[in-house]
A and B are shown apart, each in its own frame.
Chain A
């Protein structure tokens, strides 16, 4: 079974631009969560989508948004990029939502550098 895929793997943007990252979950998984990982802050939860609806949201500004499509694929968008948005953005998929088994399977991440 194919794992979680994320595109692109690397991205360089300048301040003020916007970016869209894509995630394809494991086949059959309906939940997709997004995380930001930096050396200073560690792993931070952005949001979770299940059945095309955002179910949970972390403590990030409104510049960070996402969506999920009917095939469970998900995208996240960051508008008006800031230098501090440079990070590894991870997508994780799981079969169920919250009440069910919560092993999450992570993709390789998208390394975003903002200059």
Chain B
């Protein structure tokens, strides 16, 4: 898996868009960018993944730069329940023999 770098923490006001950056400058051409989050004391939750094009689902949008060296996860209207640790992973589709590995992620705190 390519190394990813995320800010350790971020704040966002409730109702505003939360933009979480991730740097993956050594990503290879066939590695996808995956985002998961983990709310305190719960299991991790899959959010979204993408290869080159921007992706959107009911939870979030993923914007990947043209050179694929970085990406941004956007939560369009953050709520208090979005407070969690967000993990960005660069990984081959289908993964490998060693399962998922999370780094330290970004602790997103939504302020009322």
Contact = CB atoms under 8 A, between A and B. Distances in A.
Contact of B94 (A35, A46, A98): A98
Contact-residue bracket for chain A: 20 to 34
B96 interface: yes
Contacts of A69: none
Nearest to A34: B99
Nearest to A33: B99
Most chain B CB within a 10 A radius of its CB, from A58, A103, A109: A103
A12 B42 CA distance: 18
B17 to A, nearest CB: 23
Interface residues of B, number: 20
Interface in A35-91: 35, 42-43, 45-46, 48, 56, 58, 90
A99 interface: yes
Nearest to B46: A103
Contacts of B42: 108-109
Contacts of B49: 103
Given A45-B99, A56-B98, A101 B93 contact: yes
Interface of B: 34, 42-46, 49, 91, 93-104
Interface of A: 4, 33, 35, 42-43, 45-46, 48, 56, 58, 90, 92, 96-109
Given A103-B46, A105-B46, A106-B46, 10 more contacts: A35-B99, A46-B99, A56-B99, A58-B99, A98-B94, A98-B95, A98-B96, A99-B93, A102-B91, A104-B44
